[in-house]
């Protein structure tokens, strides 16, 4: 089978397409014929060896996928060949086939396209857990989403609207801000402007955002934290800017602000007490499911580095002339 193979920690341009053996099926495992695989910020870090953990070389990148069950181990009863599924794994999704433990898979409703399913879990379940369980976002509150045009950012915009919040989307270009508006943002801010905090103050009537969803970090995160409302909640989701900010702890002490973290990459093998969405959040899943069914998430493949697109498309030379499709998950 064809697969994207990383042989050295290097730039994306160093990725190559290789023919490798189709994975076998060990006890407890399911083999999936990949229909779509997501590409996101973490994947880019892993390829370069810059992520917090390193995959042993050589490895096949890709952590989120959707496809059709191809084969199952004798001891697996929950899945059968031909069933559409979505899954998450540490690596291996950018290939024609992948074998994973059955616990890593979930059923994919037939009306949901592969592209939507492949970019669903990391983005939308992260957004749901962060906004509901960690921030307790309430209807009528003001939600500021930094990096609102990225995969997890646009998920937060949509989930915030589902939860009844007023959503302000912050992004660096007019195109990105318009994109956020199409997906439900009420207002937008250009956080590359030096006076963007003044604009935020004006939009919120001096109140400030009640909740900040922050996958960006860096200086923008520090400025946003200084603008948050009394008893506001700042969700630390990631550091796409490349800089982890250093927060002055007198700010939350003096002004009643709270910073909360969200594990950005749930580990299916981890036994954590807070890994399951709270009961009150389950009702949100129906709305999120409708978003996925309409394919209303993710960005066009053309917005990704050219090298990633070329390699992924090359994998798609299969007998049925279909191609593995990329979904945006930034």
- Smallest CA-to-CA distance from 237 within 97, 125, 314, 75 is with 125
Q: In what order do the strands lie in the sheet with 233-236?
A: 187-190, 166-171, 142-146, 211-214, 233-236, 258-261
User: Whole-model pTM?
Assistant: 0.76
pLDDT value for 266: 43
Question: What does pLDDT average to in each consecutive run of 10 residues of the chain (330 residues)?
Answer: 91 84 97 92 87 91 95 96 95 96 93 86 89 93 96 93 96 95 96 95 95 94 92 90 78 55 44 44 53 49 38 35 39
pLDDT value for 141: 97
User: If you search the block for the tokens 């955002």, which residue do you land on?
Assistant: 209
Cα radius of gyration (the chain)? 20
pLDDT value for 130: 93
Which three-class secondary structure state does DSSP give residue 124? helix
| Domains of the chain, earliest start first | 2-119+298-329 (3.90.180.10), 123-285 (3.40.50.720)
pLDDT value for 137: 94
The DSSP element (H or E) to which 43 belongs, if any, is helix 41-48
Following CA atoms 301, 305, 311, 312 in sequence, which dihedral angle do they give, to the nearest 10 degrees? -30
Tally of CB atoms within 10 A around 141: 21
CB 90 within 8 A of CB 96: no
**Which structure tokens are listed for 304?**
């990704």
pLDDT value for 240: 86
pLDDT value for 264: 42
């Amino acid at each position: 089978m064809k697969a994207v193979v990383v042989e050295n920690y290097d730039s994306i341009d160093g990725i190559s397409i290789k023919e490798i053996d189709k994975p076998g099926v060990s006890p407890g495992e399911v083999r999936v014929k990949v229909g779509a695989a997501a590409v996101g910020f973490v994947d880019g870090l892993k390829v370069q060896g810059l992520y917090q953990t390193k995959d042993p070389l050589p490895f096949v990148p890709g952590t989120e996928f959707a496809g059709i069950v191809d084969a199952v181990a004798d001891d697996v009863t929950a899945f059968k060949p031909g069933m559409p599924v979505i899954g998450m794994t540490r690596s291996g999704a950018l290939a024609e086939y992948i074998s994973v433990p059955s616990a890593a898979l979930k059923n994919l409703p037939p009306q949901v396209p592969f592209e939507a399913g492949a970019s669903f879990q990391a983005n939308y379940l992260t957004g749901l857990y962060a906004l509901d369980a960690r921030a307790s976002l309430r209807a009528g509150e003001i939600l500021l989403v930094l990096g609102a045009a990225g995969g997890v950012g646009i998920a937060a915009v949509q989930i915030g609207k589902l939860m009844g919040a007023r959503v302000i989307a912050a992004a660096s270009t007019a195109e990105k801000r318009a994109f956020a508006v199409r997906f439900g943002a009420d207002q937008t801010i250009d956080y590359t402007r030096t006076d963007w905090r003044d604009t935020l103050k004006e939009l919120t009537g001096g109140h400030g955002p009640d909740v900040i969803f922050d996958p960006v970090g860096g200086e923008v995160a520090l400025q946003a934290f200084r603008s948050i409302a009394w008893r506001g909640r700042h969700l630390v989701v990631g550091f796409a800017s490349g800089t982890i900010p250093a927060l002055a702890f007198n700010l939350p002490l003096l002004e009643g602000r709270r910073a909360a973290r969200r594990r950005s990459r749930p580990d299916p093998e981890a036994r954590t007490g807070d890994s399951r969405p709270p009961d009150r959040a389950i009702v949100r899943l129906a709305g999120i499911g409708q978003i996925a069914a309409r394919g209303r998430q993710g960005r066009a493949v053309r917005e990704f580095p050219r090298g990633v697109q070329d390699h992924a498309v090359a994998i798609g030379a299969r007998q049925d002339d279909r191609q593995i499709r990329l979904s945006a998950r930034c």
